[in-house]
Structure formats: C-alpha cells, structure tokens
Amino acid sequence: VSDEAVCTLQIYPRFAIKPGQGCILRVPKEATATTVIKTAVATLGMDTSKPYILVEVQEYGGEEWVLQASDQPVQRVLLWPRKAQDKHPQSDGYFFALQEGSYDGSIQYDVMTSVRQEKVAQGLANRGFVTQQPQEYDDLCNLPELTEESILGTLRHRFHKQKIYTFASNILIAVNPFKFLPIYNPRYVKMYENHTLGKLEPHVFAIADAAFHTMLNKQVNQCIVISGESGSGKTQSTNFLIHCLTALSQKGYTSGVERTILGAGPVLEAFGNAKTAYNNNSSRFGKFIQVNYLESGVVRGAVVEKYLLEKCRLVSRGKTERNYHVFYYLLIGASEEEKDEFKLLRPEEYHYLKEEIPISEDQAEMKHEFRRLHQAMEMVGFLPPTKKQIFSVLSAILYLGNVTYEPKVVAEGLKVGPDRVLSAISDLLKVKVELLVEALTTRKAMTANDTLILPYSLSEAITARDSMAKSLYSALFDWIVLRINHALLNKIDLEESVPCLSIGVLDIFGFEDFKTNSFEQFCINYANEQLQYYCNQCIFKLEQEEYMAEGIIWHNIDYPDNIGCISLFSKKPTGLFYLLDEESNFPQATDSTLLEKFKQQHQNNPFFVQTPVRVPAFVIRHFAGKVKYQIKDFREKNTDHMRPDIVALLRSSECSYLRQLIGANPVAVFRWGILRATIRTLAVFNEAGRSWAEKHPGNIYGALIDFSFDRSEEGPLEAFEDIFATFENKNLTDFLFHWIHCEMGNLIDSHSLKFIMGLTQHNRATRSLLRLHTKKKPPSISTQFQASLSKLLETLRKAEPFFVRCIRSNGDKREMHFDDALVLQQLRYTSMLQTVRIRMSGYGAKFTFKEFTDQFRVLLPKEISTPQQDITNLLTKMGLPSSSFQIGRTKVFLKESERQILQEALHKEVMRSIIILQRWFRACLMRKQYLREREGIITIQVLFVWLARGCLVINSATFPGPRRNPTIKISRATRVQEKWNASLDREITDSNELHHLDEFLGNQVCVVDVYSSLNPNIGYKDLMSGYQKRVASLAGLKKASEVPLVVNLFQSVLDGFIRGELKRLETEPCKVKERNRRKSKRDKCPDGPLGHLFSTYQVTIMQSCDQCSSYIWGMEKAFMCSSCKMVCHKKCLSKITVNCTGHCDRKKEGEQTLHFGVPLCALVRTADSVPFVMEKMLVHVEMNGLYTEGIYRKSGSACRAKELHHILEKDPQAVSLDNYPIHTITGLVKLWLRELPDPLMTYSLYNDFLYAADLPEASERLRAIYRKLDELPPSNFSTLERLIFHLVKVAKEEAHNRMSANALAILFAPCILRCPDSSDPLLSMKDINKTTLCVEILINEQTRCYNQKMEEIQQLENAEAMAINQLKLRRQSTFVLMLRIISMYLYCTVQNLFRLWFRNELAFRLPEFEQDSSDAENMDSESLVSSESLLEDHFVSLNSEGQY
C-alpha cells in the first residue's frame, strides 16, 4: 500500500532463517537501495559488519538484477504488474531479496541488453501474452536436432536480438551486422578475462582470452585463424582481437610495443583497405600479426607480415568501388597549409579517383579519419618530416594519373602533358622534368654494342605511367610495413636470447567472386583454398586420425576435401601457376595462348570448367562455388616489376627518402646513406675551410665553424636525425676523427634491419634496382605469393589454432538484415554442419597419461600402478557418463563439460587439503607453544621455591644497588617547583614537534613510553604529569624524596625546548602556511564521482560511452574508471549516477563499524587517511619493538591475541597496548591485513602486479609496479604507503631484529597481495615468488629513498652548523661577545653535566629501560642548534636587563 510520499516494500532475506520469513518496510519513494538495505538489516537484526546487496527478482525467465547503491527500489516496483505493486509476496514471483555480497574481487557487470530483452520476451511467452519462440542456444553443439535449418534458425534468432556471436564448441561464428554494437568497451575485456570458454555469452573477447591463457598455461604458441568471404567482418574482428590481446598483456607496464601495435592497425587500414561492392572497409592485402610474449604474458614484440597488395586498384576498379582510403583522407582532411605544400586538388579532379560513388556525405568522417591517421602514425613512430615525405609521394602518385599523351605533329613519338602536372610531379618527387618526360615516353633497349632509345606507343605509354604509379605505391606500402616492424622490434632480442611465446592473428583476404575477376582474385581464392584445407585438416582429418590411432570407438564423419582444387593450382609441372610462369617467360606468348594452354592441360580436371572458345575466360570450381576469371592481363600482372627506366629516374631524385623506397635491400640502402652522408660532410667541411682561409689569409689556425646541416632529406630510417649539430670550439680534424671512429661505429650497426629482413624477406616485392646488370630475372608475383603462403601455413601448423568463422549477413551492406539464402550458402561451403557434428560427438579435452596424472594427482590414488585403470576408476567414481570420456592407448579423451567438472572437483579437493594442512600446522604450533609455556611455568616455580628457601638464610642485602658518581654535584639553584611554567600549557599537535622533542632530549625512553599510552594530541603538562607518575612509581617509597628533584630537572630542560620550538616556528611561518595549504588542498581534493577512479584513456577501437551511449571514435581521448572499467566522455563525468562497483562506499559520518574484516574504505573518513587501529598498532611497534629479535617472525600467545582482538573490536580508543607483548601486537597487524575483504593491493590488480614483477629488466619492474600502485583506491594507497614505511623502519634495524627486506616480504606478501579465492590454488602457489618479489621491490625502493633523504637532511644540518660556527667566529671581535661566548660555554657545560647526571640516575633507577650506550651518547645536530638558540635567547634577555 502506498501513498504520495511512502511506499511499502517486502524484503525476503536469503539466509539460514525460517523460509518465507521477511520484513515489511515503509520507505520514501526516493529511498535508495543503500537506505533500504540498512533499514532491512536493522529490522531483521542481522550482522551489520557484513556487506549486503538487494536483488530484484522478476517472474519471467528467473531474472535477477543486483541493484546499485543509487538505484531506487520503489521506481522498480512501479514497473511491475499492477497486482504486484500493491503487495508482492514471494509466491507471486515479484519481490526483493536480501543476500550477502562477495569480497572475492570480482566486478559485478550487467548482462548485455539483448540478454535481458530476450528473457523478458521469454517470460511474456510463458505467460501466454506472445507466441512461444523456439529455445535459443548460444552453442550449436547443444542443439537437440542438428540440421542446416536448425543451425540457420539459431543464427537468425540470435542475430535479430543483436547477438552476433555463437559458439560451435571452441569455434566462434561471427555474423557481420554492418553496424557498430556497444559491446567492446574495456568492461567487457575485464568481464571475459580468465573465464572458461563457453561459460559466458559468446564474444570475440572470449576467444582472445582463451588463446592468451592457453598460451600461458600450456606454454605453447597459439594462433587465431579468421576466415570468411569478403565483407564478412574479418578486419573488424582482427581489430577487436588485437585490442583485447594488448589489454590482457598490459599487466603492470604498458611498453611502447602495445602502443605501436594499436597504432599499426589504423595505418595499415588507411594504406591497404578500400571500399568495395561488398564491404566499406575491405582489406586489399593479407596480414598476419604475430604478437610475441614472455613466458609470464608480457608483450615482448611483434611482427607484421603482409601478402599480395592489390596494386591494380590504384589505377582501375569497378564503378561502385573506391581507391585506397588514404587518398580520400589526405584530400579531404588536410589543412589549407598542407594542401598548398602537397599541391592537392579536389578528389574529382584526379583521374585515378574518378568514380560514381559520391563522397560528399561522409566528408566529416574522412576528416576525423585523417586526424586519427596522424595520431596512429605518431604512435608507430613516424616523425613529422617523414609524414610529409609520405604525403608528397601520395600526391605525386595521384598526379601521375593526370598525365596525358597525344601524338607529336612533326616527329615520331608522343607528347606528354600538361606542363603543370609534370611540374607538380617534379617538385613532389624532386626529379628533373626532362628525365621524367623521358621515362614516361621512351624506353631503353640494350644491344650487343649500343643502347637504343625507342618511343612508346600510346597504349605502352599509358601502361608505363600506370606501372610507375603502382610500383611507387607498392614500394611505399612495403616501406611502411618495414617501418612498423622496426618499431615493433624489441631491441633486447638482438642482444640476448629470451624464450618467447606468441599468438598470431591471421586476417587474410576473403573469398571473392566479382562480376569481373582477374589475377588478384585468382591468387586470393587460392589462398582461401589453402586456408580451408588447413581448417579441414585441424577440425576433421587430424582429429579423426588421432582417434583411430588411439583405438577408441569412433565413426568417421565425411567432409568435403578440396585437395584436388589446390593441386589444380600448384601441382608441378602442370599447375596453373607453373603454366602461367612459363607463358610469362616467352616473349611471343599472349593471354590467349595462356588460356589455350590452361584448357589443353586441364580439360579433364573436374575442378576446371571449360568455356566457349571465343570467351576469354575460364571457370574454376572452388570450395565456395564456381568463379569465372577473365584471362586479360594475367601475364602482365604476374611480371609486374618496377621497370629499369623508372628505377633510374627515381634514383636520380634529390630526396633520399624516395631512394629508400626503391631499394631492394634496406640494409644496403642504409649503409649507402651513411657513406653518402659522410662524403658530403667531408666536402662541406672542406669547402667551409677554403672559404674561411680566403677571408683570413694571415691566420694559419683553424677557425670556429658554426656548421648546420639539413638532415630531413638525408636520413635513411631517421638514422641521421641527430648526427650533426652546431659544433663550436672544435678543431676540424679532431671532430672528423671523433665522428668517423665513434659515431660511424654506431650507425653502421644494422642488426635490427637484418633481423627484420630475415623475418619478412619473403613479403618484400623483388624489384629491379639491384638486378639492372644481371641476366637473371626476378621471381614472378605468383611464385613470391606461393612462397609467402607456404611460410604462413608452416607457422600456423606449429601453433594451436582457434577459429573464427565470419559470416556476411547480406550482400547489400544493410544494417541488421539477415539474408537466409546467402548465410546458408556460406554455412554449406564452410562445412559448418559437419564441423558442429564432429565437435558435438568428438572430445575437446585430450591428455596423455602423464599429463593427466600430473594435473589431477590429488584426485588419484597415492600409488599409481596402472594409469589407464586408475584413471578409468576415477572418472567412473565421479559419476561421469561413459559416453563422455574414452581411454585410448596413450591418451585420455574427455568432453569439455566433463573436463570442467573434473577441474572443479580438483579445486575443491585442493582447498580441502589446504584447510587440513592449516589445521594440523596450527595444532602443532599451539602444542609447541603449550609445551614451552608449561616448561617456563615449571622453571619459575622451581626458581621461586629456591629463592624462598634462600631468603631464610641469606641477608636481604645480597643485591646492593650501584653507587652514584661522586664527581657530579647538584647546584643549590636547582629548586623543586610546585607549579610548572605557563609554557607547559602548550599542546603537541605536530608530529615534527614530537620528533624534535625526542631528538632534543637525547634519550627517547622516558618520552616514548609515556606518549605511547596517550592520545596523538597531547600537551606538555600532560607529558609532565605522566612522567612524574612514572618516576614516582619506579622510585618507590624509599626514594620518594628525590622524585621532585628529578622532575624539576626534566621540567627545566623541557621548558627550554618549548622556547626554542616557538622561535623555530616564528622563523618559518611561510613554510608552515604553505604546508597547511597543501594539506587542506589535499584533504579537499574530491575523488571521482560516486567512488569512480577516472583517468584518461586513448580509445583504439570504436566504443560507446557508458553514460550517454554515444560513440567514442578511435584515437579519441576518453575517461575510464580503473576499478569498474566504466568509459565515458569528459562532458559526461558530471552526469554519472551509477556508483562504482569496484570498491565499496566510504564510511559515512557517525556510522558505527567494526575494525577487523571490514572493507578498508569503510574504516577511513578521508581518502588519504589510515585506519585508526592499524595506525595505533604500527606506532606502538615502532616505539617499542624495532629492536626485538624476530619481531614479525615469531608468534605471540593465542589467548592474549584473542583478548586484544576483542578489545580492539569493541573500543580501540581505550585499549593500552603496553599491557600486551610485542609479538601479540605484530601478529594482530598481520591478522588485520589478512582479514581485509579486499587486500591492500586489491584482487583486481593481482595479475597486474605479478606480470609487473616478472618483467625482465629491474627498471621496468620498478616503473611498472609504481604505475599500478597509482591505480589503487586512495584509502588502499595511503594505508599501503604507511605500511611500507613501517617495514622500512623495521628493515633498517636488521642488525638487531634479524628482519631483512626479503624476510619481511615473505611474511607480508600473503597478507597484502593475495590471489582471489576463486583462483586455482595450485597456480596461486606458483605465484608466491612473484608476490614476494613485488613486495620486496617496494621495501627496497622505499629504503633507498629513505636513505637518500636522510643524507640530504644530514648535509643540510652540516651546512647549518658550519654557517652558525662562522657567525660565531665573526662575533669574537668584541668584548661583549667574548663574555657571551664564555657564559654560553659555562652554561652549556653545566647543562651537559645535569644531563649526564640525569641519565646516570635513570640508568640506576630504571634498569628495565636501558638502551645502548651509543643511543644515550649521541646528540643530534638539530637539538644542539635548538639549545644554542635557546642560550642565545637567555643571554639576550640578560643583556637587555643589564642595559636597563
């Protein structure tokens, strides 16, 4: 029942109380979930120290939704049916449930919107409101009936619900929606991290995570093969996979490799992708990205291999297609200055860009893509001069298309023009116009005795012009790939051999069947045939052969084999590629003769379809269907190398960058550039010397040469970026000698280029530069392509594969449109039905007997005599169905679901064993402690009896007290004061003041012991009172008369310190104000909204804002919460209404809570404070226990620990830690840390710290760990900072307490850096060394900083003392100053005698507080300065009195 302001809610707790028992609450409509939880917990009388969550339970689909802290339950009720709004008992299916939250570090995520919508619809269908829909399956292997129709229906049903991913066991099927879906934000990367494949909703991130963790667990290389026809979304899937793999590998330290990998994608897409009839972002080349990792999972480097760039697209393409993206980005996105610099025109003014597709509607997007390209090139490492040179080459290529020809009127040959186009090309390429015209209109023919210059015909000239453009663009693309690989190379790999693992992602061109298919489609479809054969081998043939070899029961599944089609292409000597090479080498051969040879050799081949005689084409029956190829230009494209005349023209360019592009060997070009630059340097210096000698004929010495050199045109691969600078005051000969012997030695080191060329030599198109004077012809394009493809398949066979099958949803690029016929066709030629059938009936998990016994040793008997029988008994005992596993001759075969059951059983058994071991270990410790205490009690009893008997015989004077020092006399001026001075009313509110007081007194025993039992803010009067009580209690009745004398002496010394401290504060008012201002600013510094910890985040793939749901484009800056991975725009920060799910809310004002086992953020009132109990225990240990041996290694009494634990929980303010042994307190320190629900270094960053600690270099480890520390919540960071400082102070006294940094790390690593409870305990045990190393690094680094700071302070104090001494010396010139010095000397002598007597008295009276003599005798320089300033004040006052 509800009224205008109040509503009734019925809450049902899910605990061990009576079923159905709940509570009815009347809450305001605006009440949040936090308020309702508090009220319900109080009403039900439950434990307030535990965390709780409120869950909305709805009838349909059994859906449950966890309400966030700011959600309003009443608003949820208003969305329920009308009947459920008034009263919502549990039986109606609409109610709220109260249950305990979890502290295992997992982040609660909402499921995808499509999942909830689906369950809502299912609930409506169950209630009869809508038609019943067929049951949905996210894994095709779970289909009850396996047919083509059922597979197609499942994919269609999921696609219409915007769920484009579906599993077929471990194969992912991705249907291209031609629309961006907001399911790729960092929170989804986090959601799928370290989860078993198939446990969550199908997603491309699940495949990336499975490959990554399989690589780490098995230490075997992995590969992800993405296949599908053109337009199926392979490139986008590759981007998502690379994004996820780099995000998973960024554990602790984000090196430049990840950044370069993410930047390489947009660069390669801009230069290698284009818009086609089937795809708006079609890859016109193939690429294989191999990411290399250390064995710990940290990225080591990467290699990009490219295959067969489609060069012909540059000069001609279909009417509905476009050229490469980069041309449109440059022409539309360039600024006015760039357009003038590169002489850019409008796109429609270029012959190579003329097309029917208008580009006006997406100009804004192209401008954005050009900015994104700029940023991506900077991420890869392209310098601004290099980018300008690249854009100049692109502009020159476009201008080449505008070159026109017409016959000469008078002479033979062609006239080339227009002049402005030739002039623009000349300026952009830095070549002479005459040489350019000659290369475009004539060719050279070599004879035995002479060189002939022959003019081109019109068709030959156009072909030469287009060949120059294609060769130049191909060379540019090759250089960009080389430059990216150079940036991705880890330089350490050249110096040392480190074992690495890898994950390769293959994004190769999809199967194509256009209206006009040429040589490019011929090679592309052959590559897809090879890829299909590889998939069939992995999925069908090899697996079934293994089943047969192991002798298990198996019925073979037939599948289409395309080996015959592959033989048609590549079998020697009659394969199509070999016939093509033969015809390409015959000067008199034509495309027609090539077609005839094809038909003659393969007229009876079932995969080669004959065509009519007059049709210049042939048909091949591929696995995906028949494709008709036009024979035109096959021979020319197969031998499309850079022509010698064009090579000679480009070699004459003044631009060194252009000369690099045409070099066949980058190492040779690199060294030639060094030699050329050296010769030019010598020539310039020689000319400068002659000029100077002419101006100064009488001077025979060398001059100061102000020399500068333009390197922008002369640096191969930026090698000369910083070679030359302005050299002054240098002798010319000495400089040249130094540069040639030192600098040249570094530059000639070209190991990195050699290493890259060794990895990707097969990808680089062979050019004619180094073959101008040889008769051997370079290999054909088809030969190079087959070689690179063979190397790719060899790499894939060495790795374990994961498959992603991309499906094109429709042929019109329509958003969210599902074409049944097209999808069914793709399912058929990919053998999806057979794939699902073998995955359904096959065994996904395979173990050798040794692997099985090693992994599941805990579940097997202790002694394994016959592994085959023992394993069978185990699986049968666990109740697994016999059809779900089989035992072969050497291997165990399991279904994936049964493997997961086995893994869960292993986890439970290991946890049970660990608990048993812990019980026995604790029992042994308690037994050992009991025996030790009993022995001590017996000893004490025996000693007591002996003493009691001895006292009857021996006189009580057996233990006389030590004699006093008779040389020390006490002056009569020392009187007992009944009242202390008014200065003692001052309170100590600054920790620095207390530190100065300790140093001033020289003996910390009396002050520290009194202070430890008081509050942090104490007064001097309280300090004196406590001191008097302590001295009186220690003196006893016998020496009570001497107590006032000791107290009075201490008070006089303390009064002097107070005056000196006041003077010090007066001299530093500015520093105090500045410190207070910084402190107040730090206290008032707000955290992110609603507990979020936002930091800037550069988006690499398109994502969506979690607040406003609008797009965040690639390379834009966004804000991401490091805790819950929420991503939003900067403008949306102030609009966020959802609390951070990564950590709990802070403790509210006045809220009562316990102190052990409570979230850290609930124990602090400000973000940078430390919990009171922790601070209290650490301070006590630092004051009383730093010299205790084994301070943290030894354990205290369990009874005393329980007692103190109870008191600290109840009232930590009133407890006195002096009454408890130091080991009891140190044990509670560790217990407090262990009982934190989320450890100090947090579950979410656990893996990040492990990866950081496993980095190869010490500097990288340190930097990575501290970067991750910055991501901790503020309260965790402050507490960890305080704890590490405490451990540093403990480690500094290692000589006394025997606690080194390593020993402390071993003890505290399980307390502050522990793995989540859901982790595999066996794997977590292997991480102990890493966690210990991580904590030890923190302690050692902070120790270094502490020592460095202390040295700086000591230097400052020495400098201050020296300055004071110098001032004293200057004052000795006058008699008055002399008297002051004598008086000061006498007074200091007397005061030192008082102190010496005072310490001796304490040594005699308080033997239990003795310290080392070095501590008693050392006097800090700062306390001396304070004393001197105190004496100066004293004598100044005497002086003033004397003057009056």
Known binding residues for ATP are 228-235
CA distances to 879, 1004, 1013 from 1054, rounded to whole Å, are: 80, 13, 20
Dmax over Cα atoms in the chain, in whole Å?
147
Structure tokens that stand for 970 in this block: 């006490």
The beta strand positions in 1039-1100, using DSSP E, are 1094-1098
- 143: tokens are 């289909």
Asked whether 1024 and 1006 are in contact (CB, 8 A), the reply is: no
Q: Is 402 helix (H, G, I), strand (E, B) or coil?
A: coil
DSSP 8-state class, residue 1293: T
Q: For residue 8, which of 96, 106, 98, 127 has the smallest C-alpha distance?
A: 96
Taking the C-alpha atoms of residue 400 and residue 476, their distance in angstroms, rounded to an integer, is 15
Chain-centre distance for alpha carbon 153: 40
Q: Do residues 987 and 971 lie in contact, with contact meaning Cβ atoms separated by under 8 Å? A: no
Strand 414-417 and strand 404-407: the pairing is antiparallel
Binding positions are: 228-235
Q: What are phi and psi of 276, to 5 degrees?
A: -120, -175
CB atoms within 10 A of CB 522: 24
Are 531 and 510 in contact, with CB atoms under 8 Å apart?
no
534 close to 225: Cβ distance less than 8 angstroms = yes
Cα–Cα distance for residue pair 886/895, rounded to 1 Å: 9
CB 619 within 8 A of CB 756: no
Strand partners, 28: 6
Measured CA distances, 1441 to 237, 472, 1031, 1438 (Å): 91, 98, 37, 5
List CB contacts of 827: < 8 A, sequence separation 6 or more: 148, 151, 152, 807, 833
Tell whether the torsion through CA atoms of 124, 126, 132 and 135 is positive or negative. Answer: positive
Q: How far apart are CA 709 and CA 703, in angstroms?
A: 18
Nearest Cα neighbor of 474 from 803, 836, 781 is: 781
Q: Which residues contact 543 (CB under 8 A, 6 or more apart)?
A: 838, 842
Q: How far apart are CA 1217 and CA 1196, in angstroms?
A: 14
CB 1100 within 8 A of CB 1115: yes
Helices (H), 801-895: 820-829, 832-841, 849-855, 867-877
Alpha carbon separation from 1412 to 498, 1296, 1426 (Å, rounded): 52, 11, 24
Q: b/e per residue, 748-766, with b = 16+ CB within 10 A? A: eebebbeebbeebeebbbb
Residue with tokens 């801009």, as numbered in its chain: 270
Beta-sheet strands, E only, within 1053-1155: 1094-1098, 1103-1104, 1111-1112, 1117-1121, 1127-1128
DSSP 8-state assignment for residue 135: P
Which of 270, 239, 237, 256 is CA-nearest to residue 302?
Answer: 256
Determine how β-strand 171-176 pairs with β-strand 800-808. parallel
Strands (E), 447-589: 451-455, 500-507
The identity of residue 69, as a single letter, is A
Q: How many whole angstroms separate alpha carbon 1219 and alpha carbon 355?
A: 91
Query: What are the tokens at 920?
Result: 């026995």
217: tokens are: 């667990």
Q: Of 474, 761, 763, 773, whose CA–CA distance to 644 is shortest? A: 773
